[in-house]
Amino acid sequence: MNTENSNQTSATKPRYRSVIIGLIIIAVAILIISLLKSMQPEPATTERSEKAWSVSAVTLQADDIRPQLQLLGSVEAPFTSLLRASINADVTAVPVSEGEHVNAGQELILLDDREARLTLAQRQADADDLAAQIDAEKNRHQQDLASLKNEQNLVDLAEKAVARESELKKSNVTSDAKIDASRQLYQQQQLSLQARQLNINNHRSRLSQLESKLLKANALLDLAKLDIERTRPRAPFDAIISAVNVSPGERVRPGDALVQLYDINRIEIRAQVPAQSIDKVSHTLSTEHTATAWVNTPNMKTPINLVRLAGVVNKGGGGVDAIFAIPSGLSTVVPGQTLSVLVELPAEESVFSVPVSAIYGEDRVYKVEGERLKAIAINKVGQRFEGGKLSHLIKSDKLKSGDQIIITQLANAVTGLKVNIRQ
């Protein structure tokens, strides 16, 4: 038993010794590391500087500026005419084509006028016949007036003959047959006189009837002459041909479409004014009677005039159409074309014109104070286009001439942010 215990004690001693040695080694290593760290020089500490964001800025200058209203307009031709046939005729020639410029009075279509000329000859003959009847009636009346005196003389003579025969009868010198004959002649002369007087009395009625017939015949004659003119439809104004509906050889009837054209001197632009701008535009018209506007045509910027507003509000849109008059002779615009229109509105007093990039959100700009930003609430009163660029017109009690605001859009722009203005 003692021998076994002594053997176990002998085996345990080497294990304890190796553990103690290991702990000593670890302690020495920790000590060495600590000494090495304490011997290293401490790194120099630097103070971190605040970043300044590079921005561009503009200097504000208050001025009285006229805002501009940008509209999208459509070119219209209110004087558009569709010429139609007025007679039955054959088309002999079509001297114009679609898109061609024509002058007022220029012939557009040639129709066969032979039928119309035959009708004209008939109407002329009817009028001439009635004119001859009127002349004959007037001559007959003059003859009746001249014959009336003779008829009256014959009645007087016949009356005297009757009286003479009556005296002779008292003396038994004449017979009853002679007395009856003289009385018969007297009565015949009276009838003849009455007939002549009736013709004279009816002259005015007969003449009026003939003159009325002549008036009707002359009206038909003028209508026939008008039909001759209608065989040559002419342009009612300086125009552009927009459609030709017939070709040579066709037979047209009254009402058939021939040519469509529009007046080149009465072209207008119609653009809808937003509801929030109607009062300003209406005020401009009431005070200035017209408003200056500009339209961007393909090759130039052309001045036009706002002459009136439409009488009704557009359904579903809420706005009112503005009508612009285009200067006569401007051939670069055609009906149906869509154009951009800029309207000059009444001037706003003491406003600042700033680029679009200066506006943050809808109602904020950033003023530079020292090297820091400060948010300023603003009121947008309009916009203006200069050199093809859009500028906003703004007002604020906290802005004055000489202030600088940034025109660089910063995603992290806040009051107090440090900035560096680029020159």
Q: What percent of the chain has pLDDT over 70?
A: 85
Q: What is the CATH number of domain 69-77+266-344?
A: 2.40.30.170
Quick check: 256 and 234 in contact, CB under 8 A? Answer: no
Tell me: the pLDDT tens digits for 314-370?
776 668 888 988 876 566 788 888 888 888 888 889 999 999 999 998 889 999 988
What topology is assigned to 81-106+235-262 in CATH?
OB fold (Dihydrolipoamide Acetyltransferase, E2P) (2.40.50)
CA-based end-to-end distance of the chain:
102
What topology is assigned to 55-67+347-421 in CATH?
2.40.420
Quick check: 375 and 388 in contact, CB under 8 A? Answer: no
DSSP-assigned letters across all residues of 324-376:
EEPPTT--S--TT-EEEEEEEPPPEEEEEEEEGGG-BTTTEEEEEETTEEEEE
Residue 267 reports pLDDT greater than 70: yes
Higher pLDDT pick, 310 / 174: 310
- SS3 of 391, please? strand
Instruction: Give the number of C-alpha atoms closer than 13 A to the C-alpha of residue 49, restricted to the C-beta side.
Output: 3
Give the pair of three-digit tokens for residue 204. 């005015």
Mean of the per-residue pLDDT values of the chain: 83
Chain centroid to CA 365: how far?
Answer: 40
Tell me: the pLDDT tens digits for 195-234?
778 888 888 888 899 999 999 999 999 999 999 999 999 9
Question: How far is residue 44's CA from residue 185's CA, in Å, rounded to a whole number?
Answer: 168
Residue 1 reports pLDDT greater than 50: no
Residue 237 reports pLDDT greater than 90: yes
Give the pair of three-digit tokens for residue 24. 């000593």
Q: What is the mean pLDDT of residues 242-269?
A: 93
Residue 46 reports pLDDT greater than 90: no
Question: How far is residue 229's CA from residue 219's CA, in Å, rounded to a whole number?
Answer: 15
Q: Where in 100-151 does DSSP place strands (E)?
A: 101-102, 110-111
pLDDT band at 42 (very low <50, low <70, confident <90, very high): low
Q: What is the mean pLDDT of residues 380-385?
A: 88
The closest of 379, 382, 308 to 345, measured between CA atoms, is 382
The closest of 373, 417, 422, 423 to 51, measured between CA atoms, is 417
Max mean pLDDT among 44-53, 70-79, 288-297 falls in 70-79
DSSP-assigned letters across all residues of 274-343:
PGGGHHHHHHHHHHHSSEEEEEE-SS-EEEEEEEEEEEEEPTTT--EEEEEEPPTT--S--TT-EEEEEE
Which pTM value belongs to this model?
Answer: 0.63
The closest of 207, 211, 199, 191 to 145, measured between CA atoms, is 199
Instruction: Please report, for the chain, the start and end positions of each structural domain, with discontinuous segments joined by +.
Output: 55-67+347-421, 69-77+266-344, 81-106+235-262, 114-229
Residue 11 reports pLDDT greater than 60: no
Q: What is the pLDDT of residue 3?
A: 46
Question: How far is residue 66's CA from residue 71's CA, in Å, rounded to a whole number?
Answer: 16
- Does this chain's domain 55-67+347-421 share its CATH topology with 69-77+266-344? no
